[in-house]
């Protein structure tokens, strides 16, 4: 007995070209997602002077994130956290409703692999040609095709890595700097790394990334249940499968059965196991067709679903961790079903909970009944609540802002005349593109005096454009006044943009002399 190898070489996969509804949808999604990725950094958005005019910009150096009309400062990072929570909840929602749609349609690994496959097909031909080329000895033609393919891949990879860095600085300027070799080394290093990962992941690793490196399949599988709509094979309709030569013998019977199935309605024909009444299978009074043959299902074992699969699996074996639900096997099978005159949907998006009904020849429950259930409803509510909260937070933001941190070491200072003074560090934020004069004031139920460090009797400070100014503020209570002797007095600090009249305020506390 020899010990089996514990390591297996990667099995090359040569997905065949396919066309159909889902393939068309995937082409459009690829165009849209890649379009967004490559073009977004080039969109301009006029924010006035002193501010960048790039619509989407992650400005690490100045700690700013620009998204069209929204500008996020580091202290507003909760927006990013909120969006991540929404992305998480959205993933839960989509996965529990429709399985691994993220993997199948929009995951960058899927989209770029699809693009690389398109290139591969365009240069080396479809499945059979690629298989032949794979097995062929290295000759001039093979070398030429391989080099053409790899070069095209590499160009796409460079464009991919190149597009990424444009999100982090002014894109037109960086593009000029990049070709003049004047850009920052980090830009070149980032492009290099992303070019390498795109080239290797999209060109060579492909399904290996999904199967062995990505944690998503495990997580997503945990979020699916029997009501989740997913890509599956109607084994109760298709089995036992059989190739054409077996079928020829009972073509007649099959046609007859088909007619009966059609008579039962298109819904039933699509989902139900094909009924083969024994009487219909008898030709000339002789039972020529054995029981085994009588029970042939709709699957003609043409392997179309397997040949188009980018993951190299056979969907007919049931739900598998490798399946990214790209739905290409649906397109392939529907095509075959059309050709052999069978109803579509042998491989279909379906909920596994419908299996018992379909086995009995009943149509499945409507899709909305699968999708609208407590779980998805809860995810939707949580997702929507998070979104509304973020929108609300976005609208209550002002262009000017202040935060107040009272100096607590010590909480108060006695002045020589007995007055009690509190010190506050006030951060004033001017989010506009021009320097603005800010006026400071306070409101309180008690008499308090406000002074600014730098002996500014006008209580005015000028905050430079798009920046934060730290201003020390002194608030004083005269000796004997209530605020001086009370432990704590509530007050509110106001900042006003003296040009526009915009105001913002913060509540804080005045500490009196402890009695």
Partner 1 sequence: MSDKNIDETTGTETTGHVWDGIRELNSPLPRWWLWTFYATIVWGIGYVIAYPAWPMISGATAGVLGYSTRAELAESVDAHELANASLVGELVKADITGLAPSDDLHRYAVARGGAVFRAHCSQCHGSGAAGAKGYPNLLDDDWLWGGSMADIEYTVRHGIRNEADPDARYSEMPQFGEILEENELMAVTEYVISLSSPEHDAALAATGLELFADNCSSCHGEAALGDPELGAPNLADAIWLYGSDRDAIEYSIRNARFGVMPPWQPRLTEPDIRAVSVYVHSLGGGEE
> Distance between alpha carbon 473 and the CA centroid of its chain, in Å?
46
Please name which of 83, 81, 64 lies closest in space to residue 72, comparing C-alpha atoms: 64
Check if the beta carbon of residue 277 is closer than 8 Å to that of residue 257.
yes
What φ, ψ does residue 127 adopt, rounded to 5°?
-45, -55
Residue 515 touches partner 1, criterion: CB under 8 A: no
Please pick, from the candidates 81, 413, 458, 490, the single residue that binds partner 1 as defined by CB under 8 A.
413
Residue 479 touches partner 1, criterion: CB under 8 A: yes
* Smallest distance from partner 1 to CB 291, Å: 25
Task: Select 373 or 421, whichever has its Cβ closest to partner 1.
Answer: 421
Positive/negative CA dihedral, 144, 146, 152, 155: negative
Task: Select 79 or 216, whichever has its Cβ closest to partner 1.
Answer: 216
Using CB atoms within 10 A of its CB, is residue 37 exposed (0-12), middle (13-18) or buried (19+)?
Answer: middle
Residue 460 touches partner 1, criterion: CB under 8 A: no
What distance in Å separates the CA atoms of residue 305 and residue 337, rounded to the nearest whole number? 12
Residue 27 touches partner 1, criterion: CB under 8 A: no
* Smallest distance from partner 1 to CB 191, Å: 23
Residue 318, SS3 per DSSP: coil
What length does the chain have? 515
Please pick, from the candidates 415, 485, 505, 509, the single residue that binds partner 1 as defined by CB under 8 A.
415
Residue 5 touches partner 1, criterion: CB under 8 A: yes
Residue 215 touches partner 1, criterion: CB under 8 A: no
Check if the beta carbon of residue 479 is closer than 8 Å to that of residue 417.
yes
Check if the beta carbon of residue 334 is closer than 8 Å to that of residue 18.
no
Interface with partner 1: number of residues (CB under 8 A): 31
Please pick, from the candidates 472, 482, 490, 499, the single residue that binds partner 1 as defined by CB under 8 A.
472
* Smallest distance from partner 1 to CB 451, Å: 9
Helical ranges in 364-513 per DSSP H: 367-371, 374-395, 482-485
Of 138-146, 155-163, 217-225, 408-416, the segment contacting partner 1 by CB under 8 A is: 408-416
* Smallest distance from partner 1 to CB 322, Å: 13
Residue 374 touches partner 1, criterion: CB under 8 A: no
Of 41-49, 139-147, 259-267, 416-424, the segment contacting partner 1 by CB under 8 A is: 416-424
Check if the beta carbon of residue 499 is closer than 8 Å to that of residue 436.
yes
Of 119-127, 180-188, 305-313, 406-414, the segment contacting partner 1 by CB under 8 A is: 406-414
Check if the beta carbon of residue 424 is closer than 8 Å to that of residue 475.
yes
What distance in Å separates the CA atoms of residue 149 and residue 261, rounded to the nearest whole number? 48
What distance in Å separates the CA atoms of residue 362 and residue 111, rounded to the nearest whole number? 37
Task: Select 382 or 407, whichever has its Cβ closest to partner 1.
Answer: 407
Positive/negative CA dihedral, 164, 167, 171, 177: negative
Of 19-27, 387-395, 424-432, 469-477, the segment contacting partner 1 by CB under 8 A is: 469-477
For tokens 């003296």, the residue is: 498
Torsion, Cα 18 114 105 225, to 10 degrees, reads: 80
What φ, ψ does residue 8 adopt, rounded to 5°?
-120, 140
Please pick, from the candidates 10, 262, 369, 434, the single residue that binds partner 1 as defined by CB under 8 A.
10
Please pick, from the candidates 63, 212, 259, 503, the single residue that binds partner 1 as defined by CB under 8 A.
212
Check if the beta carbon of residue 456 is closer than 8 Å to that of residue 472.
no
Of 63-71, 87-95, 157-165, 417-425, the segment contacting partner 1 by CB under 8 A is: 417-425
Of 7-15, 48-56, 185-193, 441-449, the segment contacting partner 1 by CB under 8 A is: 7-15
Task: Locate 72 and state its tokens.
Answer: 């996020």
Widest CA span in the chain? 123
Of 25-33, 321-329, 381-389, 412-420, the segment contacting partner 1 by CB under 8 A is: 412-420
Task: Select 11 or 139, whichever has its Cβ closest to partner 1.
Answer: 11
Of 30-38, 110-118, 132-140, 465-473, the segment contacting partner 1 by CB under 8 A is: 465-473
Residue 12 touches partner 1, criterion: CB under 8 A: no
Please pick, from the candidates 46, 139, 417, 514, the single residue that binds partner 1 as defined by CB under 8 A.
417
* Smallest distance from partner 1 to CB 8, Å: 4
Of 182-190, 374-382, 468-476, 487-495, the segment contacting partner 1 by CB under 8 A is: 468-476
* Smallest distance from partner 1 to CB 311, Å: 14
Please pick, from the candidates 414, 447, 458, 507, the single residue that binds partner 1 as defined by CB under 8 A.
414
Residue 245 touches partner 1, criterion: CB under 8 A: no
What are the start-end ranges of the E strands in 357-502?
A: 400-406, 413-414, 420-430, 436-444, 449-452, 460-463, 467-477, 488-497
Bridge partners for 226 per DSSP = none
What string marks each residue from 418 to 457 as x (binds partner 1 by CB under 8 A) or -?
Answer: x--x-x-----------------------------xx---
Which one-letter DSSP state was computed for residue 272? S
Residue 8 touches partner 1, criterion: CB under 8 A: yes
Count of other CB atoms within 10 angstroms of residue 4: 6
What distance in Å separates the CA atoms of residue 191 and residue 193, rounded to the nearest whole number? 6
**Residues within the interface to partner 1 (CB under 8 A):** 1-10, 208, 212, 407-410, 413-418, 421, 423, 453-454, 469, 471-472, 474, 479
């Amino acid at each position: 007995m020899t010990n089996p190898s514990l390591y297996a070489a990667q099995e090359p996969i040569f997905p065949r070209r396919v066309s159909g509804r889902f393939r068309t949808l995937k082409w459009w999604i690829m165009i849209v997602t890649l379009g967004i990725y490559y073009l977004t950094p080039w969109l301009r958005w006029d924010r006035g002077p002193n501010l960048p005019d790039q619509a989407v910009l992650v400005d690490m150096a100045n700690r700013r994130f620009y998204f069209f009309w929204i500008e996020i400062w580091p202290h507003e990072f909760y927006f990013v956290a909120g969006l991540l929570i929404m992305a998480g909840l959205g993933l839960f929602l989509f996965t529990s409703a429709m399985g691994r749609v993220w993997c199948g349609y929009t995951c960058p690994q899927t989209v770029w692999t699809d693009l690389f496959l398109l290139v591969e097909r365009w240069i080396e031909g479809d499945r059979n040609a690629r298989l032949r080329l794979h097995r062929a000895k290295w000759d001039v033609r093979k070398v030429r095709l391989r080099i053409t393919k790899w070069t095209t891949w590499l160009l796409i990879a460079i464009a991919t890595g190149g597009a990424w860095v444009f999100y982090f600085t002014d894109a037109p300027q960086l593009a000029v700097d990049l070709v003049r070799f004047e850009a920052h080394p980090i830009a070149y290093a980032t492009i290099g790394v992303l070019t390498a990962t795109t080239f290797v992941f999209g060109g060579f690793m492909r399904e290996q990334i999904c199967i062995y490196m990505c944690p998503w399949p495990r997580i997503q599988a945990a979020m699916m249940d029997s009501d989740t709509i997913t890509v599956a094979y109607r084994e109760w309709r298709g089995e036992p499968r059989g190739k054409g030569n077996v079928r020829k013998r009972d073509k007649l019977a099959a046609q007859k059965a088909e007619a009966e199935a059609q008579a039962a309605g298109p819904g039933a024909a699509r989902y139900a196991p094909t009924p083969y009444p024994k009487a219909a299978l008898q030709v000339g009074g002789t039972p020529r067709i054995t029981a085994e043959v009588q029970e042939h299902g709709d699957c003609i074992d043409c392997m179309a679903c397997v040949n188009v699969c980018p993951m190299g699996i056979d969907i007919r074996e049931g739900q598998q961790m490798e399946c990214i639900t790209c739905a290409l096997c649906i397109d392939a099978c529907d095509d075959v079903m059309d050709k052999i005159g069978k109803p579509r949907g042998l491989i279909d998006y379906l909920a596994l909970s419908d299996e018992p009904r379909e086995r009995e020849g009943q149509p499945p429950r409507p899709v909305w009944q699968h999708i609208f259930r407590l779980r998805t409803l809860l995810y939707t509510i949580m997702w929507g609540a998070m979104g509304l909260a973020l929108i609300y937070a976005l609208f209550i933001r002002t262009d000017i802002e202040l935060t107040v941190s009272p100096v607590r070491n010590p909480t108060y200072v006695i002045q020589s005349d007995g007055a009690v003074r509190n010190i506050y560090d006030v951060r004033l934020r001017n989010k506009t593109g021009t320097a603005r004069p800010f006026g400071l004031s306070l409101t309180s139920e008690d008499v308090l005096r406000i002074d600014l460090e730098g002996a500014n009797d006008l209580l005015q400070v000028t905050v430079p454009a798009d920046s934060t100014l730290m201003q020390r503020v002194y608030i004083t209570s005269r000796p004997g006044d209530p605020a001086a002797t009370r432990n704590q007095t509530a007050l509110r600090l106001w900042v006003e943009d003296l040009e526009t009249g915009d105001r913002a305020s913060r509540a804080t506390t005045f500490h009196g002399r402890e009695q």
